[in-house]
C-alpha cells in the first residue's frame, strides 16, 4: 500500500538550498517535507564549498542556525591575489565598509540545519529512491518515491526543486519551456584536505604559468588546497607527492615563505562549468541552487547563490500563504536571475583571470597579468572585486 502524506511545500534535496528553505519556511509556520536521495551521514560529510558571504552568514544567523558557525567559523577580512611570485592583499573589510567572509565548511552548515530541523520535530526523508514529480503544472502536485522498497506519495501546494545539478526536478520541466546557457572550461580543480595548520591566515588565489592554485582552510588544524588540473585527469595521475610539488611551485614567493605539508585526508577532482536555466520556475515547481545554475568555484559562490535563491523563494511563499497574492511567486525567476547573472559574470571573470587554458599564448598571459596588476593596484578595481566577493546585498 502506498503511504500518502500532505504538506504545503515538498522540498526535493537536503543540500544547502533545500535545508535553508525548509528552515525559513518552518520559522513562518509553513509545513514542508524534505525528500533526499542519500543517507544522513553522506550529506553531512560531503566535502564541498567553504566560503560564506556576509549575506549568507547574516541569513543563517537570522534563521537561528548561526551559533556554531559564529563559534567555529573563521572570519576573514581580506584575501591575497598572487602573481609573478608576489602576493597582494585585498582588504575586504576596508573596501566594503566593514563586510567580511566566513570560512566554514558547507557540510558543517548542512549538519547545523539538519540538527535544527530534526530537533524541531520536522521531517527529512533520507534514502528516497525513484523520486518522481507529478502534476507540477496543476494546483495539487505530488511527489512519488520509494523508501525501503515501499511506495510513498507526498501531495503538496508547491514543489521546491533543490536537488542539485544532476537532480530530477529540472528534467521534469518540458524541454521546450526552458532555455539553457552553458560553458564548460578546459580545466578542473584537484582539491585536497591536509592535516596541517594553514600556512597563512587568509586565502591565496595564485596565478602561475603552470596553472592556478588556491590555499584555503577549514580550521586552525586543517588546510584546504587546490591545483588546476586537466579535466580528463584521474586521481591516479595525482599521487600526493605530485600534488605537493605543484602546490609548492605555484604558491611559492620570493620572500622565503614556506607551504606546510601534512597527511592528505581527502582528495577529489571538481569539473568547472557555468550553467544557467531560464526560467527557474514552471507551474508550481520552483528550482533553486545548483538545480537551476552552476558556477565555476573560483569566486566561491555556489553555496551562497543557493542561499540567495531560497531567501527569495521563502519570502514569495510566505506572501502567498499570508495574502494569496501571486506577484512575488510570479517574479521569483526574474528576481533570482538578476543576481545569478551577476554572480555568473564574477565567477567567469575570476576564472578566466586566474587559470591557464590550453592554447593560451604569451599574449593571453600578459593580458591576465595586466588585469591582475590593475585589480590589485586600483582602488576602484579592488573595490569591485571585494564587493562581489563578500556578496552584494540580497534584494
Ligand atoms: P546540492 O548541494 O548539490 O544539494 C542537492 C541535494 O539533492 C543533494 O543532497 C543530493 O543528494 C540531492 N538529490 C539529488 N538528486 C536527488 C533526487 N533525485 N531525489 C532526492 N534528492 C536528490 N562551490 C564553491 O563555492 N566552492 C567549492 O569548492 C565547491 N566545490 C564543489 C565540489 C563539488 C564536487 C560540487 C558538486 C560542488 C562544489 N561547489 C563548490 C558548489 C557548491 O557546493 C554548490 O553550489 C552547492 O552545494 C549548491 O547547493 P544545492 O543545495 O543547490 O545543491
Ligand atoms: C574554497 C573553495 C573555493 O571555491 C574558493 O573560491 C575558496 C575557498 C574552499 O573550499 O575553502
User: pLDDT tens digit string along 177-225?
Assistant: 999 999 999 999 999 999 999 999 999 999 999 999 999 999 999 999 9
User: Which sign does the torsion angle of CA 390, 21, 303, 335 carry?
Assistant: negative
Q: Is the CB of 51 under 6 A from ligand 2?
A: yes
Q: Is the CB of 198 under 6 A from ligand 2?
A: no
User: pLDDT tens digit string along 335-390?
Assistant: 999 999 999 999 999 999 999 999 999 999 999 999 999 999 999 999 999 999 99
Question: Which residues surround ligand 1 with Cβ inside 6 Å?
Answer: 12-18, 35-38, 43, 48-49, 106, 128, 131, 162-164, 167-168, 270, 289-290, 297, 300-303, 306
Specify the pLDDT at position 293: 98
> What is the C-alpha separation between 261 and 18, in angstroms, rounded?
36
The single residue of 301, 311, 332, 355 carrying the catalytic annotation is 301
> Has residue 240 got a pLDDT over 90?
yes
Alpha helices in the chain (DSSP H): 16-27, 40-45, 54-62, 67-72, 92-95, 106-119, 240-251, 302-323, 327-330, 332-354, 362-377, 379-390
Specify the pLDDT at position 395: 76
CB 37 within 8 A of CB 146: no
Q: Coil, strand, or helix at residue 269? A: strand
The residue whose CA has the least distance to atom 11 of ligand 2 is: 50
> Has residue 269 got a pLDDT over 90?
yes
The single residue of 80, 104, 185, 205 carrying the catalytic annotation is 205
Residue 17 or residue 1, greater confidence: 17
The residue whose CA has the least distance to atom 47 of ligand 1 is: 303
Instruction: Mark whether 76 is an active-site residue.
Output: yes
Q: For residue 354, with 0-12 CB atoms within 10 Å meaning exposed, 13-18 middle and 19 or more buried, which class applies?
A: buried
User: pLDDT tens digit string along 73-111?
Assistant: 999 999 999 999 999 999 999 999 999 999 999 999 999
Instruction: Mark whether 80 is an active-site residue.
Output: no
Atom of ligand 2 nearest to the CA of 217: 11
Nearest to residue 180, comparing CAs of 259, 96, 57, 279? 279
Specify the pLDDT at position 276: 98
The residue whose CA has the least distance to atom 2 of ligand 1 is: 15
> Has residue 394 got a pLDDT over 90?
no
Mean pLDDT of the region 151-157? 98
User: pLDDT tens digit string along 38-71?
Assistant: 999 999 999 999 999 999 999 999 999 999 999 9
The single residue of 297, 311, 332, 355 carrying the catalytic annotation is 297
- Mean confidence (pLDDT) of the chain: 97
Give me ligand 1 centre to Cα 51, in Å.
14
Q: Coil, strand, or helix at residue 258? A: coil
Atom of ligand 2 nearest to the CA of 191: 10
Specify the pLDDT at position 1: 78
CB 117 within 8 A of CB 34: yes
> What is the C-alpha separation between 365 and 208, in angstroms, rounded?
10
Instruction: Mark whether 301 is an active-site residue.
Output: yes
Mutate to test the pocket of ligand 2, among 46, 50, 82, 202 (most ligand atoms within 8 A of CB): 50
User: pLDDT tens digit string along 9-38?
Assistant: 999 999 999 999 999 999 999 999 999 999
In the chain, what percentage of residues exceed pLDDT 90?
97
Q: Is the CB of 105 under 6 A from ligand 2?
A: no
- Beta bridge partner(s), residue 125: 35
CB atoms within 10 A of CB 106: 19
> Has residue 176 got a pLDDT over 80?
yes
Give me ligand 1 centre to Cα 107, in Å.
10
CB 137 within 8 A of CB 150: no
Mean pLDDT of the region 389-393? 94
Confidence of residue 232 (pLDDT cuts 50, 70, 90): very high
> Has residue 139 got a pLDDT over 90?
yes
Mean pLDDT of the region 107-128? 97
The residue whose CA has the least distance to atom 3 of ligand 1 is: 164
Amino acid at each position: 500500500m502506498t503511504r500518502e502524506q500532505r504538506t504545503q511545500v515538498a522540498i526535493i534535496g537536503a543540500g544547502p538550498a533545500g535545508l535553508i528553505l525548509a528552515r525559513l519556511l518552518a520559522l513562518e509556520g509553513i509545513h514542508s517535507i524534505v525528500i533526499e536521495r542519500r543517507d544522513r551521514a553522506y550529506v553531512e560529510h560531503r566535502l564541498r564549498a567553504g566560503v560564506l558571504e556576509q549575506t549568507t552568514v547574516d541569513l543563517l544567523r537570522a534563521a537561528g542556525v548561526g551559533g556554531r558557525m559564529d563559534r567555529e567559523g573563521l572570519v576573514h577580512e581580506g584575501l591575497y591575489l598572487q602573481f609573478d611570485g608576489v602576493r597582494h592583499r585585498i582588504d575586504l573589510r576596508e573596501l566594503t565598509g566593514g563586510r567580511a567572509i566566513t570560512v566554514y565548511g558547507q557540510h558543517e552548515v548542512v549538519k547545523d540545519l539538519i540538527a535544527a530541523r530534526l530537533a524541531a520535530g520536522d521531517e527529512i526523508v533520507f534514502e528516497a529512491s525513484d523520486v518522481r514529480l507529478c502534476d507540477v503544472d496543476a494546483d495539487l502536485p505530488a511527489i512519488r518515491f520509494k523508501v525501503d522498497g515501499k511506495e510513498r506519495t507526498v501531495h503538496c501546494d508547491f514543489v521546491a526543486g533543490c536537488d542539485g545539478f544532476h537532480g530530477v526536478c529540472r528534467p521534469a520541466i518540458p524541454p521546450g519551456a526552458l532555455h539553457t546557457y552553458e560553458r564548460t572550461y578546459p580545466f578542473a580543480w584537484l582539491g585536497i584536505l591536509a592535516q596541517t595548520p594553514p600556512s597563512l591566515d587568509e586565502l591565496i588565489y595564485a596565478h602561475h604559468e603552470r596553472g592556478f592554485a588556491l590555499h584555503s582552510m577549514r580550521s586552525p588544524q586543517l588546510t584546504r588546497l587546490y591545483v588546476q588540473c586537466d579535466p580528463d585527469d584521474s586521481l591516479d595521475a595525482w599521487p600526493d607527492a605530485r600534488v605537493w610539488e605543484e602546490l609548492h611551485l605555484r604558491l611559492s614567493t620570493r620572500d622565503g615563505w614556506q607551504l606546510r605539508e601534512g597527511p592528505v585526508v581527502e582528495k577529489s577532482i571538481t569539473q568547472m562549468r557555468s550553467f544557467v536555466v531560464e526560467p527557474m520556475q514552471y507551474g508550481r515547481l520552483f528550482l533553486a541552487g545548483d538545480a537551476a545554475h552552476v558556477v565555476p568555484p573560483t569566486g566561491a559562490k555556489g553555496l551562497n547563490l543557493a542561499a540567495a535563491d531560497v531567501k527569495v523563494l521563502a519570502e514569495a511563499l510566505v506572501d502567498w500563504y499570508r495574502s494569496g497574492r501571486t506577484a512575488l511567486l510570479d517574479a521569483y525567476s526574474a528576481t533570482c536571475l538578476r543576481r545569478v547573472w551577476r554572480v555568473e559574470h564574477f565567477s567567469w571573470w575570476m576564472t578566466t583571470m586566474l587559470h591557464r587554458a590550453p592554447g593560451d599564448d604569451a599574449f593571453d598571459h600578459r593580458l591576465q597579468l595586466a588585469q591582475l596588476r590593475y585589480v590589485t593596484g586600483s582602488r576602484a578595481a579592488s573595490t569591485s572585486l571585494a564587493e562581489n566577493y563578500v556578496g552584494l546585498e540580497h534584494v
